[in-house]
Amino acid sequence: MRATTKAHIAVLLTNFFFATNLSLVKHISPSLIGPYGVNLFRVGIALLLFWLLWVFSKQEAGIDKKDIPRFVGCALTGVVINQMLFVKGLTITSTLHAALLMLTTPLLIGVLALWWLKEKFTIQKAVGLLLGIGGALLLILSRDARGIASVQGDLLILINAISYAIYFIMVKPLTSRYSPLHVIRWVFTFGFIMIVPFSWQDAVEANWQSAAVSQWLALGSVVLCGTFLTYSFNSYSLKHLGAATTGSYIYTQPLFAALIAALFLQEGFSIEKVLAGVLIFGGVFLGSRNKS
């Protein structure tokens, strides 16, 4: 299988896991553990797994001194600001608002890629972005907006999307010099050090005694699938597909969310959802297709 094909599969799985996180995080926070405490476990356990992988990979552990500021910047934007604000914002707003606001990420990535990475923005990519936005909006707006939404929560999700877009651009040069595992291991190492002071109190005050089995499973899934695998797959995709193409796959998240709801919450399909799915995948196809 070609590396680019593997990269497309990886980024598709990444967005599936991100979509499931929307429901899983709300299931455990704040009822079981505070939002910042969730991040301490997410980053801490994932970091341990990344270093265990390094032990068996027999790769070099160090990084070039000149790259340390960029690694720290990636940790700040891709782990600290991104994850902390995402979980906090999600606990005080609705999943509908969170999913909608996260769709600004590929647009921001496209703008930043034009200016920072000098990537070419063609009419074809512009049409792809418009199709993706249209499909995602159609899918989201066709669902009932349940849950409590707040301006504060929406702003935190929006800042999270901006931070994540900056991370996508900043990490790209590192993926050309180091392996994906090497990059993400050090990003999480620096990120974990920075989030401990903000997250420790929530972790200590967690209500473990009243935790249900479903909450333990949800926390495990958020750590393993929603953090460890997503960041691993994202680094691999960035290396082989680029920032704009990898970011465009975020349009699949609402579609995955609808499929999960249909399977586990008995929500039926509709013409709007089918049409939205066609538009979303059409947008991803056009946005990632390069001319010969």
As a whole number of Å, the end-to-end CA separation of the chain is 20
Q: At 69, which amino acid appears?
A: P
DSSP classification of residue 81: I
- Pair 195, 84: CB distance under 8 Å: yes
Question: What's the distance, CA 85 to chain centroid?
Answer: 12
What φ, ψ does residue 160 adopt, rounded to 5°? -60, -45
Q: What confidence category does residue 106 fall into, taking pLDDT thresholds of 50, 70 and 90?
A: low
Q: Which residue has the higher pLDDT, 85 or 4?
A: 85
Most confident of the ranges 111-125, 170-184, 246-260: 170-184
pTM more than 0.85: no
Give the model confidence (pLDDT) of 181-200 as tens digits. 888 899 999 999 999 999 99
Q: Is the pLDDT of residue 177 over 70?
A: yes
CB atoms within 10 A of CB 122: 14
The confidence score (pLDDT) of residue 180 equals: 79
Give the three-class secondary structure for 62. Answer: coil
Task: Look at the alpha carbons of 150, 155, 158, 160 in this order and tell me if their dihedral is positive or negative.
Answer: negative
The confidence score (pLDDT) of residue 33 equals: 92
Give the model confidence (pLDDT) of 138-150 as tens digits. 655 655 545 455 6
Give the model confidence (pLDDT) of 206-260 as tens digits. 888 888 999 999 999 998 988 888 888 887 887 788 766 777 777 777 777 667 6
What does the block give as tokens for 205?
């005050």
- Pair 28, 176: CB distance under 8 Å: no
What does the block give as tokens for 108?
């921001």
